Structure 1
Amino acid sequence: MAADGERRKRRRRLFGTVAAVVAVALAAGGALLLSTGDDTPSAAGRTAAPAADEIRQTTEKAPASPEGQVVVDHYEQDLPKESAPSPRYAPGTWATGRILAKGIGTRIVGIRIEPGTDDTAWTLQLDGHLCATSGHVTVDGRTAVVVQPSSRKGTKDAGICDEVVFVDLNTGKKLWSARMPSAREAYVTNTNLTLAKGVVAVGWGHGSVAYDMKSGRRLWNSTTGAKCVDKGFAGGGALLALESCGEGSDSTYRVQRLDPRTGRARWTYKVAAGVQDVYLPSADPPVLAVAAGDILVTDLITLDGDDGTKLATISMGGDAYDPRCGDRYFSAGFFGDLENCDGVVVGRDQVFVTSKEQSDIDQPENWIVAFDRTTGKTEGKLDGRSLEPVVPLRMSGDRLLVLRSSLSDIEPSAVLSWDPRTGRQTPYLLFGLPSDEQGELGDPTRSDIVVERGRVFFAKRELAADDKHPKDAVLSVLGIGGAGNS
């Protein structure tokens, strides 16, 4: 009862903050609303409806009103203390039209998206801890996870992550599960999972396997002991494989575009020798983030999707840019990090990258630069504000969705879209975040930030109770939707 009472108080504070900051913003002559109107593609740009097993790429439409309201407010209890060695990990956040699904420890929880409630629609108890997740979701609302079976607890194979589970996010139903072959060296630190049309693919640096989404039937798998092994995959509109060839200091990397159904390579791009690490922030169009001579990303490389030839190299300029590749979980590689570059978003024609944060109080906290994908030249810049950093979230058609966090009591935080060719900014949502949670919720290396169907969800990746109040419930997910869309 005490937890419920505190939750209601907190929700009222959120509603009051949102209303106040929006009212001030509107009264100030619309300074925050740089442009308004429809933000959907023209009829000429629309295509036929995608198949159910394709990976969704939704185009957002600005809500009728930018004023935000809380639509998900989910708390977790019985958590380890903050001072405990390990928090409760919560990898994976997915949204459909009516459900926000969250991976937490050994389960996935489905929460109804509805203002004023914290209603759990379903809970899927897994066979063990989550090991790898993917942000990709099919058009009809399905995704996959990799699990570490608890049946091996107490044995020498206790840490192996070799169970793939395919889930319907709307109902919480486990559609199928499969045991990965020869996966004795698949762990939470090296297992990468992705989805492409009709296919679930998993790689762990010592082997790989792909399954048919509909049946769970194994389509193909790589052999262990080969000269080049699959470190993992990037999915979405295409399937890319990152392969490591050789051992130790002599190892090199190559990237292949695969036929998802057969695993056969359509083309191969050989990464230059001396590169220490490679990430794949986008498969379609293909973009690589490489750490040349260092563990930090030094360059982005764009490739032609048809034949794999190099188009451009975009330098990260030493201390200029912050691609944030592999920065989650203290760069430990937990839960699959091959596709995770939280400071990079790739569009059809452009690559968007955040700058490092600045220290000058009167200058923008940071900014986002748009690069032409073919030439590597800059095509636009979106400035944050003092104490209001900007974070690129994902593409919505040809526009970039951006989170602009605010530490001010006057100006709200915002999700907006940006068209770098025209400079047009369209406000989607204006809202306040809890002051004691804002730093964690607004940090893409610490929380999942998901925009889907006119709503934005902030979901923590690690959960722990306050040492002084260990029995208090802890905020896990906060969702904001348009006040006019309830």
Structure 2
Amino acid sequence: MSYPPPPAPGTPQGFGPPPAGFGPAIPPMPTTPPTNVPPPASRRARLWPGAVAIIAGATLVFGCGGWYLTSGDSSGSGGKPAANASKGADGNDGGHAEPAAPPSAKVLFNQYAPKASSDGDRVFGEWLTDKVYAKTGVKEITGYDRASGTQLWKLPLPTQVCFTTPQSTADGVTVIAYDDEKKPTFEGVGVCTNIAAFNITTGKMLWHTSTPVLGVSADGTGDRNLSVAEIAISGGTAAVGGGPDGGAAWDTATGKLLWKPTANADNCQDDGYAGGPALVAVRRCGDYARPTLSVQTLDPATGQPLSTYKVSSAFRDMHVLSSKPLVVGGSPGEGSGAKVSDIYSVDEKTGKELAHIAFPDEKYAIDCKGEVGTCLGPLAGGGKLFLPTTDHDNASPDVPGHTNEFVAFDLATGKPAPGRADAGDGRKLFPIRMDGNNVIALRTPPYQGRSAVISIDGTTLKQTALMGLPNDDKVLNQVLPSFGIRADDLLYDKGRLYIGDRLTNKSNDEIDGPHYLFAVLGTS
């Protein structure tokens, strides 16, 4: 696909003709909604108990503090991001008692994934507004009616998406990064240097541009574009972290470049950003191997620090587990596999440390890899930090598999909060998002049992079953394993669970047959 040079920074692209090279958001053909028929018979039959692993693997990607959509109004007006799900009625009598059966879900609509061209076509990214569910495909993003599943629009892209964020602005705009089509790819992976903003409700491309060309960066290199490593949105600003290359930010409405990496006498750069209700940066100064780190709450419009928290020299990397309340985690080790060993709650207005939570022997499941604001596992709200524990043996040695539980800590004192939410023998709990002061989580089933979406009360840690995924539904048994060996996105809102694929895989398709790009589950 030919693709013109990006517009000059600050040039609006949302008025008049759409950007050349992308084409308009294509209106749908007069088709029926996606069906919920099972895949062809060529797919290898697998039972729902085998799908326990799929959900387990899937939720480690979406499950941590990452799913944030600014709440819309209750009128259902278009363009507003979807509001948080509401809490259901009590379904059990305690944090670890056997729950009552929740309403059973069924597949409402779904779509098959396009035929994979390699073993790594990237299709991650999904978003919700009051009216639209949008999902990334191969070199495209498509919007579907939330009620019926009918296609509403399709937005072509010149290359594959390389980074997305689940965050969006109050008027339903999000930002993606995609490969530079002028640069060659290596095993299907390109150079991630182009970004674009689009409206989730309409599919309209607002603007697109290339990342800034670097001068001399923190790692001593230059004369190349900033390579995107993560995207964070807060207010009307989209900030892109590039690790040792520094960070840049754009106005989401106009595409105006707000700031870019700039070397100074102290050799300081932003490692990356966390977004949502606040914009937070981790800033690294000095030698990259022996840095001085700080965590700064920024003014989204200017990038100027509103407060600064000075990080102990014991840590090599710092991660933002929650932007508001501000909770950060430090890793003393090296590399993307280094584990968080200590957590701190911080007053975002003053930068003052409030409480310290130390971790005994990696007891809690936190996965931060190399990014600043996309850690998986922790959720914060209502003055507490909620953490899933790592897997451990069941209480009964006769039950196969492992289990875990949710615990909470007081962010003002760092002390453990009373109670816990047990998954139960052979079950596991995985976080999806906060719902006010409560936690929305997925509880996987024991062998031949029921999975469920649950709400964990933020005060008592008692569990309420919101929606069950039964093991005896023929369509579910065939849809859910389609997501089994991939790390998939999950969203839960207004009684519906949205499961989106992240990678297509040619080798697996040749063995198992076509799989699903997404499936939407609900009780009605």
Which TM-score tier does this pair reach, normalised by the shorter chain? 0.7 to 0.9
SS in 1 for 2:303: coil
C-alpha distance 388-439 of structure 1, shift in aligned 2 (>3 A):
farther
Partner residue, 1:109: 142
Q: Distance in 2 between matches of 1:191 and 1:463?
A: 21
Q: After TM superposition, give the deviation of residue 101 of structure 1 in Å.
A: 1.7
The number of equivalent residue pairs is 426
Partner residue, 1:166: 197
Q: After TM superposition, give the deviation of residue 319 of structure 1 in Å.
A: 3.1
Once the two structures are superposed, the pairs formed by residues 181-220 of structure 1 within 5 Å of their partners are 181-183=212-214, 184-187=224-227, 191-205=229-243, 206-220=245-259
SS in 2 for 1:162: strand
SS in 1 for 2:368: coil
SS in 2 for 1:79: coil
**Farther off after superposition, 98-107 or 252-261:** 98-107
Q: Distance in 2 between matches of 1:78 and 1:225?
A: 48
Partner residue, 1:250: 290
- Normalised to the residue count of structure 1, the TM-score between the two structures is 0.78
C-alpha distance 245-360 of structure 1, shift in aligned 2 (>3 A):
same
Partner residue, 1:276: 316
Determine if contact 2:39/2:478 at 8 Å carries over to the other structure: no
Partner residue, 1:357: 391
**Farther off after superposition, 177-186 or 304-313:** 177-186
SS in 2 for 1:469: helix
The AA in structure 1 aligned to 2:273 is F
**Structure 1 residue corresponding to 2:496, chosen from 455, 462, 467:** 455
For residues 190-234 of structure 1, the C-alpha deviation after alignment (integer angstroms, 9 at most, x for no partner) is 522110111111121323222222222222334145611011111
Partner residue, 1:60: 85
Q: After TM superposition, give the deviation of residue 170 of structure 1 in Å.
A: 1.7
C-alpha distance 138-482 of structure 1, shift in aligned 2 (>3 A):
farther
**Structure 2 residue corresponding to 1:321, chosen from 364, 379, 398:** 364
Determine if contact 1:98/1:170 at 8 Å carries over to the other structure: yes
C-alpha distance 248-437 of structure 1, shift in aligned 2 (>3 A):
farther
The AA in structure 2 aligned to 1:325 is C
1:427 lines up with 2:449 in the alignment: no
Partner residue, 2:407: 369
SS in 1 for 2:153: strand
Partner residue, 1:139: 170
Partner residue, 2:452: 414
Determine if contact 1:55/1:136 at 8 Å carries over to the other structure: no
C-alpha distance 384-143 of structure 1, shift in aligned 2 (>3 A):
same
The AA in structure 2 aligned to 1:78 is K
Structure 2 alignment gaps of length 5 or more: 1-32, 41-46, 49-70, 90-101, 215-223
For residues 9-51 of structure 1, the C-alpha deviation after alignment (integer angstroms, 9 at most, x for no partner) is 469xxxxx99xxxxxxxxxxxxxxxxxxxxxxxxxxx99999x
Determine if contact 1:465/1:472 at 8 Å carries over to the other structure: no
Q: After TM superposition, give the deviation of residue 5 of structure 1 in Å.
A: 13
Determine if contact 2:272/2:373 at 8 Å carries over to the other structure: no
1:289 lines up with 2:329 in the alignment: yes
The AA in structure 1 aligned to 2:175 is A
Percent identity, aligned pairs only, is: 27
C-alpha distance 247-338 of structure 1, shift in aligned 2 (>3 A):
same
1:387 lines up with 2:426 in the alignment: yes
1:304 lines up with 2:347 in the alignment: yes
Q: Distance in 2 between matches of 1:136 and 1:7?
A: 28
**Farther off after superposition, 370-379 or 54-63:** 54-63
**Structure 1 residue corresponding to 2:514, chosen from 449, 473, 485:** 473
Q: Distance in 1 between matches of 2:357 and 2:483?
A: 30
Determine if contact 1:465/1:473 at 8 Å carries over to the other structure: no
Greater relative contact order, per chain length (Cα 8 Å cut-off, separation 6+):
2
SS in 1 for 2:445: coil
Structure 1 alignment gaps of length 5 or more: 12-16, 19-45, 327-332
Q: Distance in 2 between matches of 1:283 and 1:468?
A: 39
Cα RMSD of the aligned pairs, angstroms, is 3.5
1:464 lines up with 2:475 in the alignment: no
Stretches (4+) displaced over 4 A: 4-7, 46-50, 54-57, 62-65, 433-443
Partner residue, 2:111: 74
Determine if contact 1:402/1:416 at 8 Å carries over to the other structure: yes
Determine if contact 1:72/1:111 at 8 Å carries over to the other structure: no
C-alpha distance 72-310 of structure 1, shift in aligned 2 (>3 A):
farther
1:338 lines up with 2:381 in the alignment: no
Q: Distance in 2 between matches of 1:416 and 1:448?
A: 17
Q: After TM superposition, give the deviation of residue 161 of structure 1 in Å.
A: 2.6
Q: Distance in 1 between matches of 2:342 and 2:408?
A: 15
Q: After TM superposition, give the deviation of residue 174 of structure 1 in Å.
A: 0.8
Determine if contact 2:81/2:130 at 8 Å carries over to the other structure: no
Q: Distance in 2 between matches of 1:398 and 1:216?
A: 35
Q: Distance in 2 between matches of 1:89 and 1:401?
A: 27
Q: Distance in 2 between matches of 1:5 and 1:414?
A: 24
Q: After TM superposition, give the deviation of residue 185 of structure 1 in Å.
A: 4.9
C-alpha distance 220-255 of structure 1, shift in aligned 2 (>3 A):
same
Q: Distance in 2 between matches of 1:176 and 1:342?
A: 30
Q: Distance in 1 between matches of 2:333 and 2:303?
A: 31
Determine if contact 1:228/1:244 at 8 Å carries over to the other structure: yes
Q: After TM superposition, give the deviation of residue 340 of structure 1 in Å.
A: 2.0
Q: Distance in 2 between matches of 1:62 and 1:475?
A: 29
Q: After TM superposition, give the deviation of residue 466 of structure 1 in Å.
A: 5.0
The AA in structure 2 aligned to 1:96 is T
Partner residue, 1:150: 181
Q: Distance in 2 between matches of 1:6 and 1:469?
A: 23
SS in 2 for 1:8: coil
- Normalised to the residue count of structure 2, the TM-score between the two structures is 0.73
C-alpha distance 360-276 of structure 1, shift in aligned 2 (>3 A):
same
For residues 337-381 of structure 1, the C-alpha deviation after alignment (integer angstroms, 9 at most, x for no partner) is 432222111114111111111133727600111111111111131
Q: After TM superposition, give the deviation of residue 470 of structure 1 in Å.
A: 5.6
Q: After TM superposition, give the deviation of residue 103 of structure 1 in Å.
A: 2.2
Q: Distance in 2 between matches of 1:386 and 1:466?
A: 35
Q: Distance in 2 between matches of 1:69 and 1:237?
A: 33
**Structure 1 residue corresponding to 2:381, chosen from 328, 347, 369:** 347
Partner residue, 1:23: none
